[in-house]
Amino acid sequence: MGSNKSNYNNNNSDHNQLKVVIGDAGYVLEDVPHLCDYIPNLPTYPNPLQDNPAYSVVKQYFVNADDTVTQKIVVHKKSPRGIHFRRAGPRQRVYFESDEVRACIVTCGGLCPGLNTVIREIVCGLYYMYGVKRILGIDGGYRGFYARNTIPLNPRTVNDIHKRGGTILGTSRGGHDTSKIVDSIQDRGINQVYIIGGDGTQRGASVIFEEIRRRGLKVAVAGIPKTIDNDIPVIDKSFGFDSAVEEAQRAINAAHVEACSIENGIGVVKLMGRYSGFIAMYATLASRDVDCCLIPESPFYLEGPGGLFEYIEKRLKENGHMVLVIAEGAGQELLSESIHSMEKEDASGNKLLKDVGLWISQRIKDHFAKKNKMAINLKYIDPTYMIRAIPSNASDNVYCTLLAQSAVHGAMAGYTGFTVGPVNGRHSYIPFYRINEKQNNVVITDRMWARLLSSTNQPSFLSTKDVIEDKREDEPQVLDQEIFSEDNLVNKELVI
C-alpha cells in the first residue's frame, strides 16, 4: 500500500470519527472501527480456527492483514486506485477468548427470506468455529432489549430453522431507545451484538455503537444488511433478493395464464419496491412474459400519446393479452394528485404508501369503459406477503452463510461498528455511514434498464430532459476533499 497513514475525522456530524487510510496512486481505505481504537492495551489470543480440524486442510485460511477490496471494479488505465474496504474473513489473532464471549442476535424491520438462515449460521459459526457457548436471541426487535425475554440459542435449537420463513426471534419496527438498549447490553454482560435489518436498522446499530464507544465498553457491534428491495448501497445485493425474484415469478406466471385465457386479458402484478424497483425489474427480465414494468425510479404518465393507456391498447390489439408489473412505490405522485390523503409514516419512519396496484387497475378499467370500444378482463395479483414469508432458496442460503460467518470473524477479530457484505464478489467490512448515506436505486439510464425496455418493448415514458437529469445524478461522486483534508484529519496509528 506504500506509505499509508491512518486518520480520524473529529467532525461529529454525519461522518462520526472517520477512519481513513490514504495510500499511493489515489488509494483510499475507508476502514471500520476497532476495539483498540478506544480501549488501549487489549490482549490478543491465537485464533481457535488454527486448531479446528475442519480448517486444517485449508491453505492460507487467515486473511492477510493488508487485504482490501476495491469499490469500483471498472477503471481506466489512468484512473486513481479509488476507495477500498477492509476484506472480511478470519484473522490470526482474536480479541475475545471463547469463554468470555456472550453474544446476542436481534432481527428488526420487515420480514425477508433468509433471516432464519443468518441466525442459524451466526450461532453455528460462533459455536463450532470459535467455541462460543453463550448466545442469546433478543425477542421482538430493538424494543426486545428492554421489554422482552431473551431466547437461549445453540446449534440444536436452530438446527432446522433455515427451512422456515420469517424469524424465530420475532421482529418489530421502531422501539429504538439507545440508552435503554446499551444499558441492557451492559447489564447482561453482552460483548458481541449482531444486528440484522435494513437501512433504518443499520442507522440504529450505528447509534448503538457510538454509545458503546462513548462508554468505553468492550462490545463489538456487527450489522448484517437485510432488505428484500435490494436498496442498500455499496454491497452487490442484499440477502433474500434472489428468493423474492424467484417467488415473484409464480405471481407473474399466474397473471400471464389468466391474461392468455380470456379475450383482452390484462394481468396486473404488484411487487415490492418502496423506493427501488429491483425486484420488479429482475422479475420482469427473468419472466419474459411481462409487457410493461413500472418502477419508482422511472416516471410514467397515463393519458395521451406515448402514455400507458395508449401502450396497453396497442398490446391488446397485437397480442390479445397483456401482463403489467408494477412496484409498490411507482406512480405515487399520480396517486397523490387523484387521492387526497394525509402523509403518514410507520414506526420505522417509512412513508406509508397508497396501494398503487389497486389504483392503477381501477384506472385501466375506467379508461377502457369510457372509450366503450374495447371490453377488457383485468385480474390483479398482490403476492407481497407471500414473497416476504417464504424460506430462502439455495442461492440465498449459501449467501446468508457467508454473511453470517464474515460477521462472526469480524467481531472476534475486534472490529466493530461495521456492516458486512459483498463488494465486487468479495465480502468486506463496511463502515455504517456508507450504508446509511443513501439508497441503492435502479439507474434508468443504465444498461440493465435498457435491457428491460428491449425485452418488454415498452416505451421509456422519458423525455430528453429526464434523461439528461438522470445522467447528471449518476455521475461518479468525488470524495469530499474537505472531509479528507489535512486540517480535518488527526494522525492515529492504524490498528490491524
Q: Does the annotation place 263 within a ligand binding site?
A: no
Q: Tell me whether residue 229 is one of the annotated catalytic residues.
A: yes
Q: Does the annotation place 203 within a ligand binding site?
A: no
Q: Does the annotation place 322 within a ligand binding site?
A: no
Q: Does the annotation place 273 within a ligand binding site?
A: yes
Q: Does the annotation place 388 within a ligand binding site?
A: yes
CA geometry: angle 340, 341, 344, nearest 5 deg: 155
* Cα(278)–Cα(300) distance, integer angstroms: 17
Contact in structure between 144 and 112 (CB atoms under 8 Å): no
Q: Does the annotation place 376 within a ligand binding site?
A: no
Contact in structure between 292 and 308 (CB atoms under 8 Å): yes
Q: Does the annotation place 288 within a ligand binding site?
A: no
Q: Does the annotation place 148 within a ligand binding site?
A: no
Q: Does the annotation place 188 within a ligand binding site?
A: no
Catalytic-role residue among 37, 229, 289, 291: 229
Contact in structure between 137 and 416 (CB atoms under 8 Å): no
Q: Does the annotation place 44 within a ligand binding site?
A: no
Q: Does the annotation place 303 within a ligand binding site?
A: no
- Give the CA distances from residue 229 to residues 114, 223, 331, 338, in Å, rounded to whole numbers and listed in that order: 14, 17, 17, 27
Strand pairing report for 418-423 and 426-431: antiparallel
Q: Does the annotation place 227 within a ligand binding site?
A: yes
Q: Does the annotation place 120 within a ligand binding site?
A: no
Q: Does the annotation place 329 within a ligand binding site?
A: no
Instruction: Name the binding residues.
Output: 110, 173-174, 198-201, 227-229, 272-274, 328, 385-388
**Catalytic positions, please?**
229
Instruction: Name the binding residues for substrate.
Output: 227-229, 272-274, 328, 385-388
Instruction: Name the binding residues for Mg(2+).
Output: 199
Instruction: Name the binding residues for ATP.
Output: 110, 173-174, 198-201
